[in-house]
Amino acid sequence: MQDIRLRIAVALVLTLSAFFSLTGAALAFLWWIAWSGKVSEIIRMRMILPVAGMLAFFSAILSLTGGDGISYFLRMMVIVLIGSWVYAEQKNGEFLHFGVWLLGNRIGFELGMLADMAMQTLHLMVRDFETIRVAQALKGAGPAWKTLVPAGLILVTGALFRAEHTAEILAVRGYRNGGSLCPKFCTTRGDIYRCMAVLCILLITIIPVSEFFILYR
C-alpha cells in the first residue's frame, strides 16, 4: 500500500480482528497472503522465528493452565505477520508526513521524526543481526544460542551509539522542537480495494456468520 494513512488504519483493523476472534485471525491471514505483496521478503526475515518460538512457549504454558493455547498462538502469529508487513512496506520519511498530517507541525513533527528514527534504527539492527549471523557461520561459532548474549550486546550498543550521534547532529544544527512540512501522500486504486476487503473482514468479525442468515430470513 502506498498511502501510509490507509496502511496504518488497515493494520489496526486487522490486528483487532485477529486479536478478538479466531475467524478474524483466519480472514486477516488470508488478506495478508493475498494483498501484502511482500510475502517472500517477510518470510526471509529470520527475526520472526524467535518471536514464533516465544509465542509457542507462552501458548504451551497457557494450554497447561487450562487456556486455549492453540488459539492464542494462531492469533498472535497473525498479528506478528501484520506487523512484519507494515515494517516491510515502510519507506523513509513516511511517519514524518503522517505525524504532521495527524497532529500538526509541532507535536506531529516531533512524533513523526521520532517514529522515523526508530524505524531507521530497527532497519540497521536487522542489518547488523544478519552480519553477525554470517560472521558466526564463517567462524563456526557453534549453536546460535551460545552467542545470543554477545550478539544482543552488540546490537544494543550500536543502537545507543547511533542515537547519541544523531542527538549530537540535531544539537549542532540548533534543532529544538517542531518543524515545517507539507505532507504528501499517494493513494492508489489498489489501496482502496485493500481497505474495502478489510472493512468486510471487520464486519464479519463483529457480526457472526449466523447473524447474516438471520438477517437474510
Q: Is 183 helix (H, G, I), strand (E, B) or coil?
A: coil
Q: For residue range 181-194, list pLDDT tens digits in order.
A: 888 999 899 899 99
Grid coordinates representing 80 are 506478528
Q: Which pLDDT band, with edges at 50, 70 and 90, does 75 fall under? A: very high
Residue holding cell 518471536? 51
The pTM of the full predicted model, rounded to 2 decimals, is 0.79
Which has the closest alpha carbon to 147: 155, 174, 106?
Answer: 155
Cell reading at 6: 490507509
CA dihedral 68, 200, 77, 39 (to 10 degrees): 160
What is the C-alpha end-to-end distance of the chain, expressed in Å?
38
- Phi/psi of residue 203, nearest 5 degrees: -65, -45
108: three-class secondary structure by DSSP: helix
Q: How many CB atoms lie within 10 A of CB 181?
A: 17
- Which of 13 and 125 is assigned the larger pLDDT? 13
What nine digits make up the cell of 212?
A: 447474516
